[in-house]
Structure 1
Amino acid sequence: MFYLLCQGVPLAGAAEHGETVLVLSGQLTGADHETYREVPFQVPDGVKRITVSVTYERDNRTVVDLGIFDPDRFRGWSGGNKARFSLAETHATPSYLPGPLPAGEWTLILGVPNIRSDSVASFRAEVLLESNLSADWQGFASAPLKPEAGWYRGELHTHTAHSDGSCMLQSGDRGPCPVYRTVEAAAAQDLDFVAVTEHNTVSHHQSLHELQLAFDETVLMSGREITTFYGHANIYGITDFIDFRARDNQINPILEEASNKGAFISINHPGLPSGEICMGCGWTADTDFSLVDAVEVVNGSVIDSGGGVLKSALSGIPFWETLLNDGYRMTAIAGSDNHDAEQSADSGRQTRIGAITTVVFAQTLSQIDLLAGLRQGRAFIDLEGTSDRLLDLQAASGANVAMMGDTVPAGRGENVTVAVTASQIPGASIALYHNGTPIATSDQVISSDHQMTATVTVAATGEPEWFRAEVISAEGRVLLLSNPVYVNNPR
């Protein structure tokens, strides 16, 4: 006996997210032994990702293998090794082919290598059809790699063979560097996440999807570097192609499309020059900055180009602070801008993977929560890529308290107290900035566990204000750089 039920089931919030679940269910009997059962279902226009999850009764050693065809061609076969798989235009679960998802009749294949003659086994397949990939996509990992909230350290700017990354080949020559070497380098540095950000292309996402299965302690974040004649911007969290062909200094349509798809957008190395010396490297585009989420204020390649100095003439910090003073809430992030995954610590270069890290407070170790933490500004930059240094700050006015990335309301003349806490920084000191200007702090207290605190109290102006902190080594180097805490600047 065999029956099939196929129905669209709306999910909570499905209307705005463009999600539909088709439920395919039935029974297999002994007559299905060593046969292929075809289970058709309809895919409408506009579907961006298909995810299939299958369960069945395994009593009496029943075994079911899985595969799928679209209306025109074979799309993959995983046999009995997967109960869940997904397909999208730029990436798919290993065993399956990425590519366009044509409308029409698709066919789920149930191969039955074994079912006993007297057995009856029920099966259920849930087919999730998504037309809006900005809808809370978890990323290449189907679940958080760690369920707990905490500070997570990672790398947000790398390149591989899918753009201009190179490394040593088997022959000893240099050549295109595969994605796995970047991921291995990040894992070797004990990073919690790494983003691969190729120039304009989306071809690397298939490699990340496959590698995520093996690297189950490191979030492999989807990203790319939108590279135009008028500036570069990293976008994270989506895999859709974004047309990068800006013309006439107009970049807003690109930013708008990426933002509408749910991307987290960061302007890269804005202090670099443009022109023949570095084509399109600096940020010269006419820009609606309300479409931008972050600024890459620290870039390893920029530091190397500036003679190893953070605050050289090429620094992105002044660009970022100007935007903050204009009232924009922009998250400061960092990236090595690595183009050689095998760079070692002995190289002394800041472009080494993990030489500089962005440290994010996230509710879980997952792409969606890491990006949420970045959007909130709950992040700081570790310029030495350590495993344990921490930096946080808060502002309080009366009973109102705001953490780094948040805002506290304060009327004109009301006191605002800003407190900075840093740990694992022996011999260092704290510098505090108010609207970009250094201000003196009160007592800086170091406890026995190398934790330092510093505070300052100022009278609020009643206008939008911001504070940020740096931790400075005894030799004068910036070790940590915070994001702002805001006063009177709600989102």
Structure 2
Amino acid sequence: MCLDGYCEHNAEELGADAADAAAAAGKAPGVGRRGLLMAAAGAAAITLAPVSFASAAGGSSGSASGGATPPSGTQVTKTVTGHLDTGAADFVYLPVEIPQGVQKISVAYAYDKPGVPAGTPGNSCDIGVFDQRGTKLDGQGFRGWSGGFRTSFEISNSEATPGYLPGPVSAGTWNIVLGPYQVAPQGMNYRVTVTLTYGEPGPRFVPDYPPQRAKGRGRAWYRGDCHLHTVYSDGKRLPSEVAAGARAAGLDFMVSTDHNTTSSHGVWGQYAGQDLLIITGEEITTRNGHWLALGLPAGDWIDWRYRSRDDAFDRFARKVHRAGGLVVPAHPYCPYVACQWKFGYDSADAVEVWNGPWTYDDESAVDTWDAKLGEAVRSGGPWLPAMGNSDAHSEPQVIGLPHNVVLAEDLATDSLMDGIRAGRNWIAESSAVELTFTVTGGGRQAGIGERLTLPADAPVDVRLDVAGVPNGTVRFITDEGQMHQESLPASGSGTVVWRTTTSLAAYVRAEVRHPMADGTPGKGNTMGPALVWGPMAALTNPVFLVPAKG
């Protein structure tokens, strides 16, 4: 929409010199002499020639340089078009010179989606924005990100489109950032339209952050889903609906992890309560895997503009750790573009081995995690706890399928983070599943995430009490593999006990599986019988068995 004649649409707004240079190079206007460079993040980036609103805003240099500011309510629109070749960049920055007196910035974008052969990626492009404070990696300029979930956004002092941060539209160079994470062989033609609305800023947005503590039961087991999305990234549920879903699932806590933005942090306060602790976090979606930053201080943002080769992940992991939060690689075997985990696990506090309904991706994640338990035993170094989350975005995805049951000192953010960090948690498909897992020997007992030290030949009794898995299969797994298997009755409740020693088992963990969906055994290998278990119903972290020295 254009008012009072302040409307200009064409790519020539990039400037004649840039357009001429681009034409000579056989490229679309906008790349030109400000073309390919390496961003501070280390990822390949393109910076386009700046879009200036000065001439349209009033006189030769615009209100940013002292010219007359257009009347309140005036809107000025400019459009940039261009073309990106396959493999050109991870990010494309479009600088926009914002004059003084702007009350709101509105941005819309579109790109073509030409047909591609089967198995060939088509065009997909994200969008976000940084303000006049700049685009430096981990800088202060971040103002929002909506990925590919929205085609437009607005920011003003009072409000912003979900995914974006309300605040002043200050004069200076803003940068709209495109993220073309898939580009067809034909390339990508894009179009970005920017509209500035002049006027006095509205009232300042006041965030309503959730409290860091709720009414707990002291030292107890607390249930929580630590990977949830809302309309503030690519989910379709409102925050109110996510909170209601967490309560309906019988959870004590939940973590908000919208992709690459903290914009939802400022609305969660009204949905928290003494019965539900809401913890702030973020899912960081890089080009080499996704990870969860759990327990971030409200409003803290973690950058995602890097690959594993850029040697930046550890820097941001340290930032999360300094803030008291956890670093958790998410769905490490997810088959989608840019989802598989490539950063290693040295800086991780836990790993998400179960994401949503049970699939082969989760089987692979559990196998990798179990192998890393063996590595920790061999090296004597720290071990990596497992966790599971729903990653629910919208219906019919189920909040709390699965979730974590954490032993914590209280229903408080720091206590829960401590419990997960120590591996004092197990994973349940729903609140209907209950279990207790212990090892006992020599008059002593250890639970999930703990150690039991005994003479090498002293008997150790491993015990699992479980309920809520009709006709399920209990598996006890050690560093040698599965060492005991036993079926549960139709009631779904039972007790399974198995004896070992610290010389035979370096650790033991428990799985509870459903029967096969069609009642038939799964495919085994040539050396043993067919598998008789199906999807996971519950999974524990290990108890470590340590031979006493001397």
Short-chain TM bin:
0.5 to 0.7
Q: What does residue 506 of structure 2 align with? A: 465
1:221 correspondence with 2:279: yes
Q: What does residue 43 of structure 1 align with? A: none
Q: How does 1:85-234 map to 2 (within 5 A)?
A: 140-141=210-211, 143-166=213-236, 177-212=237-272, 215-234=273-292
1:354 correspondence with 2:400: yes
Structure 2 counterpart SS, 1:156: strand
Q: What does residue 263 of structure 1 align with? A: 325
CA distance in 1, matches of 2:316, 2:428: 30
Contact 2:324–2:414 (CA<8 Å) still a contact in 1?
no
Structure 1 counterpart SS, 2:257: strand
Q: Which stretch has the larger CA shift, 412-421 or 196-205?
A: 412-421
- Deviations 1:139-169 (Å, cap 9, x if unpaired)? 8325432244433222211111221112xxx
Pairwise CA RMSD of aligned residues? 3.3
Tell me how far 1:403 sits from its aligned partner. 0.7
Which residue identity lines up with residue 449 of structure 2 in the other structure?
A: G
Tell me how far 1:298 sits from its aligned partner. 0.6
Structure 1 counterpart SS, 2:510: strand
Contact 1:226–1:235 (CA<8 Å) still a contact in 2?
yes
Alignment coverage as a number of residue pairs: 321
Contact 1:444–1:453 (CA<8 Å) still a contact in 2?
no
1:336 correspondence with 2:390: yes
Contact 1:237–1:371 (CA<8 Å) still a contact in 2?
yes
Structure 2 counterpart SS, 1:272: coil
Q: What does residue 453 of structure 1 align with? A: 495
1:406 correspondence with 2:446: no
Structure 2 counterpart SS, 1:151: strand
Cα separation, partners in 2 of 1:489 and 1:372, compared to 1, 3 Å: farther
Tell me how far 1:459 sits from its aligned partner. 2.9
- Deviations 1:314-334 (Å, cap 9, x if unpaired)? 642122112211114222211
Contact 2:217–2:411 (CA<8 Å) still a contact in 1?
yes
Structure 2 counterpart SS, 1:145: coil
Larger of the two Rg values belongs to structure: 2
Which residue identity lines up with residue 477 of structure 2 in the other structure?
A: Y
Counting aligned pairs with the same residue, the percent is 27
Tell me how far 1:313 sits from its aligned partner. 7.4
Q: 1:364 aligns with which of 399, 410, 419?
A: 410
Cα separation, partners in 2 of 1:261 and 1:390, compared to 1, 3 Å: same
Q: How does 1:277-292 map to 2 (within 5 A)?
A: 278-285=336-343, 287=344, 289=346, 291-292=347-348
**Gapped regions of structure 1 (runs ≥ 5):** 1-88, 91-96, 101-138, 167-176, 304-308
Cα separation, partners in 2 of 1:296 and 1:143, compared to 1, 3 Å: closer
CA distance in 1, matches of 2:276, 2:433: 19
Structure 2 counterpart SS, 1:282: coil
**Gapped regions of structure 2 (runs ≥ 5):** 1-141, 144-164, 169-208, 377-381, 517-532
Q: 1:245 aligns with which of 279, 282, 305?
A: 305
Q: 2:474 aligns with which of 420, 426, 430?
A: 430
- Higher share in strand: 1
Tell me how far 1:222 sits from its aligned partner. 1.1
CA distance in 2, matches of 1:249, 1:428: 46
Which residue identity lines up with residue 507 of structure 2 in the other structure?
A: W
Contact 1:269–1:315 (CA<8 Å) still a contact in 2?
no
Tell me how far 1:257 sits from its aligned partner. 1.8
Structure 2 counterpart SS, 1:246: coil
Contact 1:392–1:482 (CA<8 Å) still a contact in 2?
no
CA distance in 2, matches of 1:255, 1:360: 22
Q: What does residue 460 of structure 2 align with? A: 416
Cα separation, partners in 2 of 1:429 and 1:323, compared to 1, 3 Å: same
CA distance in 2, matches of 1:353, 1:288: 27
CA distance in 1, matches of 2:291, 2:284: 5
Q: What does residue 60 of structure 1 align with? A: none
Contact 1:196–1:223 (CA<8 Å) still a contact in 2?
yes
CA distance in 2, matches of 1:468, 1:398: 20
Q: What does residue 129 of structure 1 align with? A: none
CA distance in 2, matches of 1:147, 1:186: 18
Cα separation, partners in 2 of 1:142 and 1:376, compared to 1, 3 Å: closer
TM-score by length of 1: 0.59
CA distance in 2, matches of 1:365, 1:489: 35
Q: What does residue 392 of structure 1 align with? A: 436
- Deviations 1:384-410 (Å, cap 9, x if unpaired)? x1x342122122342342111111123
Q: What does residue 190 of structure 2 align with? A: none
Tell me how far 1:227 sits from its aligned partner. 1.6
Which residue identity lines up with residue 144 of structure 1 in the other structure?
A: A
Larger RCO, structures 1/2 (Cα 8 Å, 6+ apart)? 1
CA distance in 1, matches of 2:303, 2:363: 28
Tell me how far 1:265 sits from its aligned partner. 1.8
CA distance in 2, matches of 1:468, 1:262: 28
Cα separation, partners in 2 of 1:311 and 1:465, compared to 1, 3 Å: farther
CA distance in 2, matches of 1:313, 1:142: 31
Q: What does residue 93 of structure 1 align with? A: none
CA distance in 2, matches of 1:451, 1:148: 27
Q: How does 1:317-332 map to 2 (within 5 A)?
A: 317-327=366-376, 328-332=382-386
CA distance in 2, matches of 1:217, 1:423: 24
CA distance in 2, matches of 1:472, 1:188: 24
Cα separation, partners in 2 of 1:280 and 1:445, compared to 1, 3 Å: closer
CA distance in 2, matches of 1:436, 1:163: 43
CA distance in 1, matches of 2:538, 2:423: 15
1:375 correspondence with 2:421: yes
Which residue identity lines up with residue 321 of structure 1 in the other structure?
A: D
Q: How does 1:26-65 map to 2 (within 5 A)?
A: none
